[in-house]
């Protein structure tokens, strides 16, 4: 039986670019030369996973080793899962198509509790037994990491190991342990013993959990001598890590479609609801020089036009104003924007906001978290209202017309008055904006999520609000904010409750997750896919009450399911902070005040590392001379073949634009707050069709000394396989973009996976040509129209090698796609017709 290539069926799924691989900076190695095959998995859609910086960093680190082949895999969307199951094809890696059960390590980045059913689905689709106890010597080791790994007990039965903490160093030690175990012929238990000796690695099967009659944890018993608890892994100095300057550049648009650059890790502000503030401590800032080098290298290797400076609190970076000013000096001329996604109120200055808008205005979100100052004291947020109003005034004076405010509901000690204060605070921000802009009302959008008590936070002993309580508060906010015409968005309370169950859950929940998976639960973090009724059924069948995990106030002495896992923050410190919250007592930031005795630092290697004054830099030394001269314009002809036929038009535009940026051509831009490159293309080619005759016009702000042929050669070196320029010429600046009147196609019937009866083609053609009118119902995204395609078909004939030659002309306001003609000719559905390969050979202007 012929092997099925799942890419032949990509026309049947939405967003086929998710499944292509071959992106710029992706790495495909000769597998025979690799001692280890490492699958780097993200249990969510491609566009979510490829936005995650951690995946990009680990991918580069692992592939820096010649003996390791690291390849990526993401959760297939619902349509692709159905296709894989229908065709009997295993889920495989993007780069080389390795079925998951043929990997040595299957690693998962675990960022969110509602991705658990996706983990099981990926294991099942990849042919890996779900439970670690059922895996044989030839199966991969399934290893998880990320923030969820600090309480992975609900999924502990499915994983061989977890990594707690930073992965840059540990991931190579894990790889080496498996390589050595394979080399020595060790069984799975022997390799797990090796892994358990690596700092930060947790092997769940080496611990046994006991329960009390009331279902609380009685104790966690170590089963291996000397392996009693797991201490998180910390990279003491981020400046000593390799610069991650070659991230994979996705074809598909991602959630965060830009260069993400970490400038600092950890936060000591001490917000009592924040798990990240504990598990990522201490604060470790990167030196400005390191950041600048990383950004320069990343932009050169990717062609991105936006940089996001990442940190838990970007505004707390010691030299943030100097850094942002330097970046603007360096990249403003190249129209590279900078965004600061995690600004804390009180760290946003007028200078920061002014620098952000110098290229284009990215969005502004401020997070008061709570409406009243009393409640902000409870959570140790430390934001005064005057600070928020000052920040809002600066933003609106600089030209922003909207602002998003983020709050939580259900925080400990919250009252109805605290909810009312959210509305009042949003109204005061709008009034501030109106005064700052001379009477124009800015758009204020309030976003609200439900508070979820997380492990290793001072509020881990607290109860979570019920669904009914959250709905009541959301309804009140919706009514009152709506009356003020203030935008309001909220998070589904049922999803928050499920997240809360798993956040503080134990091993008894593994059966619930399996039941939900078998009922069809997938992508539970996506509101359109979330199915509360199926989850309720799963819990009911397992005999487990969700409220046991969410609505119960816990005593200090209770043994938590995660007590054997150690982020190095002392439990006594967390409880002390909990008591201080109830007493309305603040705890200062230890990086600027006294040590808060959390227990994380050893004050030798593990300590806050703040950039010193002598590590700063001179901004003026970074500015690069801009290329100037008379603008010039070029028309380039290109082909789009192979996997690139699955790029949509916007994805093609982005791929081409980024290639131009990587080459360093001085693109000309439009004017205004959101400048765009002056690039234009011929009308979009339908997704799934190859072409040998596409055109792109680009305008440059200065002439290039190598001329059209030099530009073409440089761009071809920067393009992914399947895109290639095959002609170039200089054209007048005011010449309009080309628009084809007639297009010629070849339709390869023999290459179709449908198994068409070629002998019947002559009859189909006679029938087609014998009709005066052929009406086809054409469905586009938002409309259905009936089109007579007969006048649009100039030629339709059979060639000697059993391909159809189709010539289409443009009608007045009408057009038809080649697959629409094929479907009507052969009596196929539009979906089946889309599987027949088509090549555009010529466009007549």
Task: Check residue 546 and give its pLDDT.
Answer: 98
Closest CA to 459 of 564, 580, 590: 580
Q: Are 217 and 561 spatial neighbours (Cβ–Cβ below 8 Å)?
A: yes
For 749-789, what is each residue's pLDDT tens digit? Answer: 887 877 777 778 889 999 999 999 999 888 776 778 888 99
**What Rg value do the Cα atoms of the chain yield, rounded?**
29
Torsion (CA) 47, 51, 52, 57 in degrees, nearest 10: 110
Helix 170-183 with 53-63: angle, nearest 10 deg = 50
Give exposure, 165-193, as e/b (b: 16+ Cβ within 10 Å): bbbbbbbbbbbbbbbebeeeebebeebbb
CA distance 618 to 596: 35
Q: Model pTM?
A: 0.95
Cβ neighbours, 10 Å, residue 618: 8
Is residue 736 helix, strand or coil? coil
Task: Check residue 753 and give its pLDDT.
Answer: 79
CA distance 7 to 597: 56
**The two three-digit tokens of residue 734, written as one number:** 């005011």
Give the start-end residues of each E strand in 68-111: 68-74, 105-109
Task: Check residue 177 and give its pLDDT.
Answer: 98
Torsion (CA) 184, 185, 190, 195 in degrees, nearest 10: 60
CA distances from 409 to 403, 471, 476, 710 (A): 20, 10, 12, 59
Edge-to-edge strand ranges of the sheet holding 259-262: 259-262, 306-310, 337-339
Question: Given CA atoms 581, 583, 584, 589 in this order, what sign does their dihedral have?
Answer: negative
Task: Check residue 754 and give its pLDDT.
Answer: 78
Q: What is the DSSP letter of 629?
A: S
CA distance 368 to 392: 12
CA distance 372 to 241: 42
CA distance 726 to 635: 11
CA distance 611 to 307: 21
Q: Are 634 and 729 spatial neighbours (Cβ–Cβ below 8 Å)?
A: yes
Q: What is the DSSP letter of 451?
A: -
Q: Which residues contact 453 (CB under 8 A, 6 or more apart)?
A: 273, 459, 460, 461, 462, 463, 464, 500, 503, 504
Quote the distance between the C-alpha of residue 137 and its chain's center. Answer: 33
Cα-flanking dihedrals φ and ψ of residue 583, to 5°? Answer: -95, 5
Closest CA to 634 of 699, 709, 714, 680: 699
Q: Which residues contact 483 (CB under 8 A, 6 or more apart)?
A: none
CA distances from 487 to 439, 446, 562 (A): 19, 6, 39
Task: Give the chain's residues under pLDDT 50.
Answer: 1
Cβ neighbours, 10 Å, residue 90: 17
Q: Are 472 and 415 spatial neighbours (Cβ–Cβ below 8 Å)?
A: no
CA distance 325 to 132: 51
Whose structure tokens read 């190991």? 161
Q: Which residues contact 478 (CB under 8 A, 6 or more apart)?
A: 488, 490
Burial of 264 (0-12, 13-18, 19+ CB in 10 A): buried
CA distance 827 to 161: 53
Q: Which residues contact 173 (CB under 8 A, 6 or more apart)?
A: 198
Whose structure tokens read 């002309």? 809
**The two three-digit tokens of residue 756, written as one number:** 């068409």
CA distance 501 to 497: 6
**The two three-digit tokens of residue 369, written as one number:** 């978290």
Closest CA to 729 of 716, 710, 742, 702: 710
Tell me the pLDDT of the chain averaged across its residues.
Answer: 93
**The two three-digit tokens of residue 655, written as one number:** 């791929």
For 173-219, what is each residue's pLDDT tens digit? Answer: 999 999 999 999 999 999 999 999 999 999 999 999 999 999 999 99
Burial of 535 (0-12, 13-18, 19+ CB in 10 A): buried
Question: Given CA atoms 534, 539, 543, 546 in this order, what sign does their dihedral have?
Answer: negative
CA distance 372 to 187: 58
Q: Which residues contact 172 (CB under 8 A, 6 or more apart)?
A: 61, 62, 65
What length does the chain have?
845
CA distance 261 to 454: 27
Q: Are 252 and 651 spatial neighbours (Cβ–Cβ below 8 Å)?
A: yes
**The two three-digit tokens of residue 201, written as one number:** 């690695």
SS (H, E, C) 324-377: HHHHHHHHHHHCCEEECCCCCCCCCCHHHHHHHCCCCCCCCEEEEECCCHHHHH
Q: What is the DSSP letter of 9?
A: G
**The two three-digit tokens of residue 217, written as one number:** 């944890």
CA distance 495 to 531: 9
Helix 416-436 with 467-483: angle, nearest 10 deg = 30
**The two three-digit tokens of residue 255, written as one number:** 């959630």
Q: Are 328 and 358 spatial neighbours (Cβ–Cβ below 8 Å)?
A: yes
Q: Are 411 and 370 spatial neighbours (Cβ–Cβ below 8 Å)?
A: yes
CA distance 774 to 824: 9
Q: Taking the CA of residue 522 as centre, how many other CA atoms within 13 Å lie in the half-sphere pointing to its CB?
A: 16
CA distance 676 to 678: 6
């Amino acid at each position: 039986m012929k092997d099925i290539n799942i890419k032949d069926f990509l026309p049947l799924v939405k967003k086929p670019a998710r499944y292509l691989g071959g992106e710029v900076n992706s790495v495909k190695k000769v597998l025979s030369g690799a001692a280890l095959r490492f699958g780097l998995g993200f249990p969510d859609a491609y566009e979510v996973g490829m936005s995650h910086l951690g995946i990009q960093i680990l991918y580069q680190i692992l592939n820096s080793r010649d003996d390791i082949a690291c390849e990526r895999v993401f959760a297939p969307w619902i349509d692709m899962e159905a296709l894989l199951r229908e065709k009997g094809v295993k889920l495989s890696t993007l780069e080389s198509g390795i079925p998951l059960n043929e990997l040595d390590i299957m690693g998962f980045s675990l960022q969110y509790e509602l991705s658990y059913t996706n983990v099981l689905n990926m294991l099942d689709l990849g042919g890996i037994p779900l439970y670690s106890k059922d895996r044989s010597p030839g199966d991969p080791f399934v290893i998880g990491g990320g923030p969820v790994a600090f309480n992975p007990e609900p999924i502990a039965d499915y994983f061989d190991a977890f990594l707690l903490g930073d992965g840059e160093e540990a991931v190579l030690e894990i790889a080496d342990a498996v390589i050595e175990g394979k080399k020595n012929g060790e069984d799975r238990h022997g390799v797990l013993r090796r892994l358990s000796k690596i700092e930060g690695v947790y092997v769940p099967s080496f611990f046994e959990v006991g329960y009390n009659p009331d279902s609380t944890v009685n104790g966690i018993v170590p089963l291996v001598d000397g392996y009693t608890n797991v201490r998180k892994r910390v990279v003491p100095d981020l400046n000593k890590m390799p610069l991650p300057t070659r991230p994979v550049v996705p074809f598909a648009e991602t959630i965060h479609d830009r260069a993400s650059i970490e400038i600092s890790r950890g936060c000591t502000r001490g917000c009592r609801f924040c798990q990240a503030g504990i598990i990522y401590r201490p604060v470790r800032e990167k030196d400005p020089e390191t950041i600048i080098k990383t950004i320069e290298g990343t932009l050169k290797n990717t062609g991105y036009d936006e940089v996001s400076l990442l940190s838990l609190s970007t505004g707390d970076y010691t030299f943030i104003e100097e850094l942002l000013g330097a970046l603007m000096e360096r990249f403003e001329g190249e129209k590279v924007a900078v965004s600061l996604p995690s600004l804390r109120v009180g760290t946003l200055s007028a200078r920061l906001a002014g620098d952000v808008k110098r290229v284009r205005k990215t969005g502004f979100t401020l997070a008061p978290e709570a409406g009243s100052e009393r409640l902000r004291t409870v959570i140790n947020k430390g934001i005064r209202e005057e600070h928020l109003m000052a920040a809002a005034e600066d933003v609106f004076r600089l030209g922003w017309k909207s602002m998003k405010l983020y709050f939580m509901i259900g925080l400990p000690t919250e009252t109805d008055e605290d909810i009312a204060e959210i509305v009042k605070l949003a109204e005061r921000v709008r009034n501030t904006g109106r005064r700052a802009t001379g009477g124009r009302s800015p758009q204020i959008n309030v976003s609200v999520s439900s508070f979820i008590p997380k492990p290793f936070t001072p509020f881990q002993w607290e109860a979570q609000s019920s669904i009914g309580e959250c709905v009541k508060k959301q309804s009140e906010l919706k009514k009152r904010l709506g009356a003020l015409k203030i935008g309001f968005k909220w998070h589904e309370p049922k999803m928050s409750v499920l997240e809360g169950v798993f956040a503080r859950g134990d091993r008894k929940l593994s059966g619930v997750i399996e039941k939900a998976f078998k009922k069809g639960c997938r992508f539970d973090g996506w509101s359109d896919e979330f199915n509360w009724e199926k989850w309720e059924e799963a819990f009911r069948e397992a005999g487990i009450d969700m409220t046991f995990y969410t609505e119960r106030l816990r005593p200090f002495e209770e043994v938590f399911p995660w007590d054997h896992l150690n982020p190095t923050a002392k439990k006594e410190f967390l409880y002390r902070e909990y008591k201080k919250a109830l007493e309305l007592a603040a705890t200062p930031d230890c990086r600027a005040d006294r040590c808060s005795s959390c227990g994380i630092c050893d004050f030798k290697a593990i300590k806050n590392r703040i950039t010193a004054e002598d590590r700063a830099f001179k901004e003026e030394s970074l500015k690069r001379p801009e290329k100037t001269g008379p603008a010039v314009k070029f028309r380039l002809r290109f082909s789009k073949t192979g996997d690139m036929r699955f790029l949509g038009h916007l994805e093609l535009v982005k791929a081409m634009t980024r290639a131009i940026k990587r080459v360093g051509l001085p693109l000309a831009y439009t004017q205004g707050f959101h400048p765009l490159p002056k690039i234009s293309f011929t009308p979009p080619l339908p997704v799934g069709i190859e072409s040998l005759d596409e055109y792109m016009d680009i305008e440059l702000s200065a002439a290039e000394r190598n001329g059209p042929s030099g530009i073409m050669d440089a761009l071809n070196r920067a393009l992914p396989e399947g895109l290639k320029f095959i002609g170039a010429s200089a054209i007048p600046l005011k010449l309009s973009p080309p628009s084809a009147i007639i297009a010629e196609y070849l339709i390869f019937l023999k290459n179709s996976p449908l198994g068409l009866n070629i002998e019947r083609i002559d009859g189909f053609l006679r029938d087609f040509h014998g009709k005066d009118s052929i009406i086809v119902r054409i469905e586009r995204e938002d409309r259905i129209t009936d089109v007579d395609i007969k006048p649009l078909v100039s030629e339709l004939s059979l060639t000697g090698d059993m391909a159809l030659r189709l010539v289409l002309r443009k009608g007045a306001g009408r057009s038809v796609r080649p697959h629409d003609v094929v479907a009507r000719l052969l009596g196929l559905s539009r979906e089946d017709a889309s599987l027949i390969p088509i090549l555009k050979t010529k466009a007549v202007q």
